[in-house]
A and B are shown apart, each in its own frame.
Chain A
Amino acid sequence: MRILIADDELISRRLLEKTLQRAGYEVTAVENGRLAADGLCKPQGPRLALLDWIMPELDGPGVCREVRKRKDQSYVYMILLTSKEKKEDVVAGLESGADDYLTKPFDPEELKARLRTGTRILDLEDRLIEAREQMRFQATHDALTSLWNRGVMMELLARELTRSRREGKCTAILLGDIDHFKNVNDTYGHLAGDEVLKETARRLVSSVRSYDFVGRFGGEEFLVTLNNCDPAFGLARAEKIRKTIADHPIETSAGLISVSMSFGLLLSQEWGYQSVVELLHEVDTALYGAKSAGRNCVKVATSNRQRDDSVEMAPELMRRRQ
Chain B
Amino acid sequence: MTKCAIDFHELLARVENDRELMQDLLSIFQEEFPQRYLALREAVELLDATRVVLEAHALKGMLSNLAAGEAAAASAELERLGRNKETAKFHESFANFENIAKELSRQVTAYMAEVSG
Contacts and interface: CB of A to CB of B under 8 A. Distances in A.
Contacts of B47: none
Interface size class on chain B is 20 to 34
A9 B58 CA distance: 7
Contact of B32 (A10, A19, A54): A10
A18 interface: yes
A164 to B, nearest CB: 64
A104 B24 CA distance: 19
Contact of B65 (A8, A15, A22): A15
B15 A104 contact: no
B15 A15 contact: yes
Interface in A12-68: 12, 14-15, 18-19, 22, 52, 54
B67 interface: yes
Given A11-B32, A18-B21, A108 B14 contact: yes
Given A9-B62, A15-B21, A15-B65, A105 B32 contact: no
Interface residues of A, number: 17
Contacts of A14: 21, 24-25, 28
Contacts of B67: 105
Nearest to A15: B65
B26 to A, nearest CB: 9
A157 B64 CA distance: 66
Contacts of A105: 14, 64-65, 67
Contacts of A104: 61, 64-65
A86 to B, nearest CB: 12
B60 interface: yes
A122 to B, nearest CB: 24
A83 interface: yes
A234 to B, nearest CB: 70
A9 B29 CA distance: 10
A244 B97 CA distance: 85
B62 A12 contact: yes
B18 interface: yes
A10 B32 CA distance: 8
A105 B64 CA distance: 6
B16 interface: yes
A107 B62 CA distance: 15
A13 B25 CA distance: 10
Interface string A57-100: 00000000000000000000000000100000000000000000
B62 A19 contact: no
Interface of A: 8-12, 14-15, 18-19, 22, 52, 54, 83, 104-105, 107-108
10 contacts: A9-B58, A10-B32, A11-B61, A14-B28, A15-B14, A18-B21, A19-B16, A83-B60, A104-B64, A108-B14
Interface of B: 13-16, 18, 21, 24-25, 28-29, 32, 54, 57-58, 60-62, 64-67
Given A12-B62, A54-B54, 11 more contacts: A11-B32, A12-B65, A14-B21, A14-B25, A15-B15, A18-B18, A18-B21, A19-B15, A19-B16, A104-B64, A105-B64
